[in-house]
Amino acid sequence: MGARSGPRTGARPAVSLRKDDGPPFRRLLIANRGEIAVRIIRACRELGVEAVAVYSDADRDAAHVRLADAAVRLGPSSPTESYLRIDAVVQAALDSGAEAVHPGYGFLAERAAFARAVEDAGLVFVGPPPDAIEALGDKLHARRLARSVGVEAVPGTLEPAPVDRPDQVAGIVAEAERIGFPLLVKAAAGGGGRGMRRVEGARDLPAALASGSREAASAFGDGSVYLEREIRPARHVEVQLLGDVTGAVVALGERDCSLQRRHQKLVEEAPAPGLHPDDRRRLHDMAVRLGTAAGLRNAATAEFLLAADGAFYFLEVNTRLQVEHGVTELVTGVDLVREQLAIAAGRPLSETVRASAARAAEPAGHAIEARLSAEDPGRDFAPTPGTVQRWTMPAGPGVRVDTAIEAGDRVPPEYDNLIAKIMVVAADRDAAVDRLRRALDEAEIAGIQTTLPFHRFVTRDPTFRSAALSTDWVGEHWDGPAELGRAARAGQLAAGLAALASGTADAGPSPSGTVVTAAPTTVVPTTIPAREPGGTDGRWRRAGLEELVDRWPR
């Protein structure tokens, strides 16, 4: 392991918490990569904190490595040999002279063992205490905690299902019938849809418990599963929490994250549309009660389902900064990363945070985020790693883009597919939707297929405009193959018109004057031959089509 740049010391730093107005730390190690690492580095720059990056071999030339004051190699490209190695990350922090470690999100961010290892090394972990991470990371414990403070969780079990006890099958089936079908088998130790199984009736329950438990054990090292009623239709609404060392916990408003595929969020917005201020106060109060009972310090998010009858049901608490934290920042004016660092340094909640929390039930403005990923929305959001050939991101009033990508960068297959977060803020939701549509239309990406066509579709859909949202929205409204077919036909037409206009129907250039090579993952209809019947060179047609399919026509 070696540092790319900047000073290194072998001695453990003496950490002293600062409660003055100076930098919260002298040097911070960021245990992550990509856009979140860049986001944290920028906060460090503004605070006068030196930033130390870590990287795998796949990220040797990545943006977060170039921007940091120092960078330390963790190991090979595989996450298990680099970003997920607790010992390597802690040693990198010690070797680089860092005083604190920010985990970002993903990788080790919600591993209590990592937070504990950081603290045992004499460093500060920028996040909730290990005990809080451990308690809230166990979803069954979190459900029991919710019940203890009078917060209603989604109806279900509070103890692990007896997967390996055939003699108790009748009992768990009876419990499932009490909860009501259809229901979900869910992993107690993790999320993201891993270990989750939908069960229509009692006959399918034993097999769902067994397969869900196996997947949970593989993904999280813990095969515990439980039962939870399926709430449909429902919206996914979450509350941003901050807590400090004095025990104060506040809510900074809520976000709607209902547009999802395979339980992964695609579009988020703040505030959640259509809620009355009284509903917001009730929701925020429930989240604060949960955070206070858990001894929350630093940032966390309490997640809920909003049923069609207006009832809120607690789901879980994520003990980290969320991917979608930016929309809360745009609406509240609070820099959440800056606040995280201050809280970790022992400072109380700032006046900015307290003032924002006081008006959270009646927010001013509206923000929306589109998670742009290297995935093909025409093929069920299949991953599309590769090299970015063209990269133009939007700008202008009320637009923010968080990314670590530039033209010529490679999107590696080893990591998450998120490549940019395009966010907008405006005076109200209608204006925000208009602004997001404009921003997405300005974006230009070639070389890899992305979710840009899907997000453009969302901003033009009348049901999204009317905020008729639910976790089923994507499945009900988005037909990827059909949209891709329309794009292909539009590409053929555009190529033909360009050829007619230039009088070069048998020439090779594309409409822009350059031959465009499609990315390996780009879908090009096989009905287009390499040469037209009769020997006419058909490259013009293919080139024009490929150019448009690279970033589906509007």
Active site residues: 320
Rg (CA), the chain: 25
With the C-alpha atoms ordered 163, 164, 168, 169, is the resulting torsion angle positive or negative? positive
User: Phi and psi for 14 in degrees, rounded to 5?
Assistant: -85, 115
Neighbours of 243 (CB within 10 A): 23
Quick check: helix, strand or coil at residue 73? Answer: strand
Q: Give yes or no for a contact between 82 and 76, defined as CB atoms under 8 angstroms apart.
A: yes
Handedness of CA 153, 155, 158, 161 (dihedral sign): negative
DSSP state letter for 209: H
d(C-alpha 451, C-alpha 474), whole Å: 13
Using alpha carbons, select from 227, 234, 230 the residue that is nearest to residue 186.
227
d(CA 263, CA 321): 18
State how far the Cα of 134 lies from the Cα of 260, in Å rounded to an integer: 27
CB atoms within 10 A of CB 143: 23
Edge-to-edge strand ranges of the sheet holding 399-403:
312-318, 298-307, 234-243, 249-261, 264-270, 366-373, 418-426, 399-403
Distance from C-alpha of 474 to C-alpha of 454, rounded to nearest angstrom: 10
Q: What are the start-end ranges of the E strands in 308-398?
A: 312-318, 366-373, 375-376, 382-383, 386-387, 390-392
Sign of CA dihedral 16, 26, 61, 95: negative
From residue 533, give the alpha-carbon distance in Å to each of 88, 515, 529, 537. Answer: 61, 21, 9, 9
Angle 330-328-392 from CA coordinates, rounded to 5°? 55
What gap in Å lies between CA 411 and CA 446, rounded to an integer?
12
Rounded CA-CA distance 108/418 in Å is 17
